[in-house]
Copies of this chain bind each other. A is one copy, B any other.
Amino acid sequence: MKKHNFSAGPSILSEYTIKNTAEAVINFANTGLSLLEVSHRGKEFVAVMDEAQALVKELLDVPEGYHVLYLGGGASLQFCMAPFNLLRTKAGYLDTGTWAANAIKEAKIFGEVEVLASSKEANYTYYPKGYTVPEDLDYFHITTNNTIYGTELRTDPDVKVPLVADMSSDIFSRPVDVSKYDLIYAGAQKNLGPAGATLVIVKESALGHVDRVIPTMLDYRTHVKKGSMFNTPPVLPVFSALQTLRYYKEMGGVKEMEKRDVAKAKLLYDAIDASKMFVGTVTDPDSRSIMNVTFVMTPEYKELEKDFVDFCAARGIVGIKGHRSVGGFRASLYNALPIESVQALVDAMNDFEKAH
């Protein structure tokens, strides 16, 4: 049975990515060697790295003066790398969820942190609006999509200070005005590739302004200077990411991805809103994420939540159990998920509701 994979991350990847990766593990670029055992300095992998950087620039229309890097360590390592490299005195953060809070915690090691807005008191059920960004900040940090809570900011804020964004769970789901950002980072394992690589887009002129000594591996300039090949990069995750980027280009780019993602999300949100059994957890409709749709059962049906997960599993629908801090369900609709899978989930919801 074909699975409908709604996992929050690591998560569904395109068939193209999976097939090409499996083939390369056997024979990479006709070298007669596995992708797992080739030198990262060989011309075949250098070509992979070059194209994986170039395609990010092309798909996101990255302006001159920016560098694209693939680093190890996950987005969680960026929580400290960003302030290590950019925080002189004070930074502003939005507290929009667990990952944002983790980023705030790390930044406090390096300087003063002003939390400009937070939805924590409401268990992060909306994306804050109407806050003011002081002009004396070294940077303003946002988490554009909050995987756990199903909230998202789908616009690029206009601020007068450098903007830093964790786009781990919604990058490539819409065109982004990169020129508004000094730094964008994203763990690969949602819309890009398998776990093990973190995409970084950094503005060269943003670097070199802090006084502290930065350990070599944590200094973005190290990786910029060496084209992301200072040390052995995560070879396979970068290769797989390249396959996804090629697939996006072939499909029509991020505008087309956005169109599909919006349609998928609408299908599911409409079903939730029409249901008497299921209810969305995000309180502000504007805050609803098109990547992660979080919903629960209404109090009278609450005890059926586990049954519904099993009901879905029997239909090949997996990965819909909600994060423990929200409960209920979370359906992640990342780029690679076909609308047919969303329809399968909606059908399951309708059938389950009718049966009870």
In A261-277, which residues have CB < 8 Å from any B CB? none
- Does chain B have a CB within 8 A of A74? yes
- Does chain B have a CB within 8 A of A259? no
**Cβ-defined contact, B22 with A105, below 8 A:** no
**Cβ-defined contact, B22 with A218, below 8 A:** no
- Does chain B have a CB within 8 A of A79? yes
**Cβ-defined contact, A32 with B3, below 8 A:** yes
Q: A7's contact among B10, B11, B38, B240, by CB below 8 Å, is which?
A: B38
Q: A232's contact among B74, B213, B318, by CB below 8 Å, is which?
A: B74
The answer for the CA separation of A21 and B21 in the assembled complex, in Å, is: 10
- Does chain B have a CB within 8 A of A12? yes
**Cβ-defined contact, B236 with A32, below 8 A:** no
**Cβ-defined contact, A195 with B234, below 8 A:** yes
Q: How many residues in A have their beta carbons less than 8 Å from beta carbons of B?
A: 65
**Cβ-defined contact, B36 with A10, below 8 A:** yes
Closest 5 CB pairs of A and B: A196-B234, A80-B215, A72-B72, A36-B194, A22-B25
**Cβ-defined contact, A21 with B10, below 8 A:** no
Please indicate the chain B residues that have their CB under 8 angstroms from the CB of A233 in the complex: 195
**Cβ-defined contact, A5 with B218, below 8 A:** no
| A18-B34, A237-B236 known; A215+B1 contact, CB < 8 A | no
Cross-chain pairs A/B with CB under 8 angstroms, 26 sampled:
A3-B33, A5-B37, A7-B39, A9-B39, A10-B36, A10-B40, A10-B232, A10-B235, A18-B25, A18-B37, A22-B22, A22-B25, A37-B194, A39-B319, A72-B77, A73-B73, A74-B232, A76-B230, A79-B217, A106-B217, A187-B232, A194-B235, A195-B232, A195-B235, A196-B197, A196-B236
Q: A109's contact among B197, B213, B230, by CB below 8 Å, is which?
A: B213
The answer for the CA separation of A316 and B76 in the assembled complex, in Å, is: 42
Question: Given A18-B26, A71-B73, A234-B237, list of 7 further CB < 8 A pairs?
Answer: A10-B40, A13-B34, A21-B36, A25-B25, A40-B195, A74-B231, A195-B234
- Does chain B have a CB within 8 A of A146? no
Q: Which residue of B lies closest to A21 (CB)?
A: B25
The answer for the CA separation of A273 and B71 in the assembled complex, in Å, is: 42
